[in-house]
Amino acid sequence: MDPDADHNTPSYWELAKLKFALGLPEHQNNAEMKNKLLAGIVEGDMAPYYISVCTDLGWNMDLALLDKMLAVNKERQTKFDAESDGDSVSDEDDYTSKWQEKLDYYCSLGDKENAQKLATTKSQDKSLSIQSRLYAVFGLFRISYFHGCDIFGMKKAIEKATELIEGGPISGGAGDWSSRNKLKAYEGLYSLAIREYDKSARLLLEAVPTYESYELASFEDIVKYALLACMISLPRHELQNNLSKHGEMAQALKLKCPDHCEYFSSLYECRYADFFVSLALIEKMMRVDPLLHPHYRQYVRDMRLRAYDQLLQAYRTFGLQRMGETFGVTTEFIENEVGRFAADGRLLCKIDRVAKVVITKFYVNDEKSRDNQVFYSPQAVHDREVLYQKIIKHGDHLLNRMKKLARVIDF
């Protein structure tokens, strides 16, 4: 059975997030999370995952509960074996359906060993159709993602899926389109996990309008991941085009992701104090997400840098106290952080600690004359308005030199 047939993401994905969160110091003794995780394991008879959770989190194992779940798993395994070996498998499609259902069952149990073994075998079986092998490869990606976000395993799965899709025709145009569409979602998540934010934003934005990889993540989660990638990688005008004017994204953000919608709109509308509040919520969410946790400090730091840069581009100087009030933080915080970014060369400005101001504009003087001094923000050098001014300025200079040259040339 196709796990995304009813557009519902398997519930066991939430258990992986709960397990990860319980491994963090601030949630180790969270009774509510523990109860939710255990309830989910019992509901799905996830005996292999229960063993993994008890081992990794130091829980006392309930042997009676484990035996009960193992008995259910064994009964289902026996049924799968009987169906695979019996007369019920009448053709290749039926056979494919059986092993795919078995693979999905192993994944739902958190049975990494058996799921990985079956998916690897089927992905390498050249007697199967490319479509069937891709099903197994995408399964390998999900196994690596579910069990600790194994980046190496996710990378291998993406490479194999790309090889299968690009290496030969897939039966039927629809299948080819569907496989490529799924690959965008899978590769978009992988790119996010390795900080390739530009690539992740492009892939996830392309996947959103025709999203169908519900076995990997819910539509809501994909929209959130797409937003996070866009916010850190896209220029301001592209943010508006892709988040405000992008029908599916805009609608999903407003209806299903209000916190993420406010995160975008507060930065875009220059409500910097509100943006810092939203960024704190985003940081909290990223910290408990196994895919994003390794990057949350870097991400939040770079988003603060982006906000500072956006504000300072419009000013030649800006008071530290006023800047602190604008962002809803103390003057000392702004002075230390902006100073650190400036010292690292990431924010092209300097701080006058005596006058308590940030100096953000420097003059460009191409003609070596004070009359021709034009002040630009360093980050704005490539903006269209600045380029236009430079072109006009240099063009006038060139015309003047040509006129002088024409006077001395005897035609």
Give CA–CA dist 384/273, Å, rounded: 28
Residue 365 is predicted with a pLDDT of: 45
Average pLDDT over residues 149-171: 87
Strand-pairing partners, residue 352, are 357
Strand-pairing partners, residue 317, are 359
Mind giving me the DSSP string for 161-219?
HHHHHHHSPPSSHHHHHHHHHHHHHHHHHHHHHTT-HHHHHHHHHHHGGG---TTT--H
Same domain, 332 and 356: yes
Q: How many structural domains does the chain have?
A: 2
Give CA–CA dist 301/305, Å, rounded: 6
CATH number at residue 355: 1.10.10.10
* pLDDT(383) > 70: no
Average pLDDT over residues 89-110: 84
* pLDDT(388) > 90: no
Give CA–CA dist 225/286, Å, rounded: 10
Same domain, 356 and 389: no
Residue 330 is predicted with a pLDDT of: 96
* pLDDT(170) > 70: no
* pLDDT(198) > 70: yes
Residue 340 lies in a domain: yes
Residue 317's closest CA among 375, 395, 269, 384? 375
338-346 long-range contacts (CB < 8 A, ≥24 apart) are 338/308, 341/305, 341/308, 346/305
Residue 42's closest CA among 110, 144, 89? 110
Residue 5 is predicted with a pLDDT of: 46
Same domain, 353 and 374: no
Residue 240 is predicted with a pLDDT of: 86
Residue 402 lies in a domain: yes
Angle (nearest 5°) at CA 374 between 373 and 377: 135
Same domain, 381 and 348: no
pLDDT, mean over the chain: 87
Residue 108's closest CA among 32, 186, 179, 15? 15
Same domain, 373 and 403: yes
Residue 81 is predicted with a pLDDT of: 84
Residue 80 lies in a domain: no
Higher pLDDT, 85 or 68: 68
Residue 381 lies in a domain: yes
Average pLDDT over residues 379-390: 55
What are the b/e assignments for 303-321, b being 16+ CB within 10 Å? bbbebbbbbbeebeebbbe
Residue 271 is predicted with a pLDDT of: 96
Task: Find where tokens 């049924």 sit.
Answer: 79
Residue 230 is predicted with a pLDDT of: 96
pTM over 0.85, yes/no: no
Average pLDDT over residues 230-245: 89
* pLDDT(92) > 90: no
Lowest average pLDDT, out of 35-39, 277-281, 288-292, 394-398, goes to 394-398
Residue 303 lies in a domain: no
Residues 283-296 have pLDDT tens digits of 999 999 999 999 99
Confidence of residue 373 (pLDDT cuts 50, 70, 90): very low
Same domain, 340 and 368: no
Confidence of residue 364 (pLDDT cuts 50, 70, 90): very low
Residue 228 is predicted with a pLDDT of: 97
> In which domain, by residue range, is 374 found?
363-408
Residue 82 is predicted with a pLDDT of: 84
Residue 381 is predicted with a pLDDT of: 46
Residue 352 lies in a domain: yes
Same domain, 367 and 350: no
Residue 247 lies in a domain: no
Higher pLDDT, 241 or 388: 241
Same domain, 387 and 398: yes
Higher pLDDT, 276 or 7: 276
Residue 161 is predicted with a pLDDT of: 95
Q: What are phi and psi of 149, to 5 degrees?
A: 50, 60
pLDDT > 70 fraction of the chain, expressed in percent and rounded? 86
Residue 371 lies in a domain: yes
* pLDDT(110) > 80: yes
CB 47 within 8 A of CB 24: no
Residue 174 is predicted with a pLDDT of: 40
Average pLDDT over residues 242-258: 85
The burial of 271, by beta-carbon neighbours within 10 Å (0-12 exposed, 13-18 middle, 19 or more buried), is given as middle
Higher pLDDT, 5 or 303: 303
Lowest average pLDDT, out of 57-71, 234-248, 351-365, goes to 351-365
* pLDDT(380) > 70: no
Give CA–CA dist 232/197, Å, rounded: 7
Residue 95 is predicted with a pLDDT of: 73
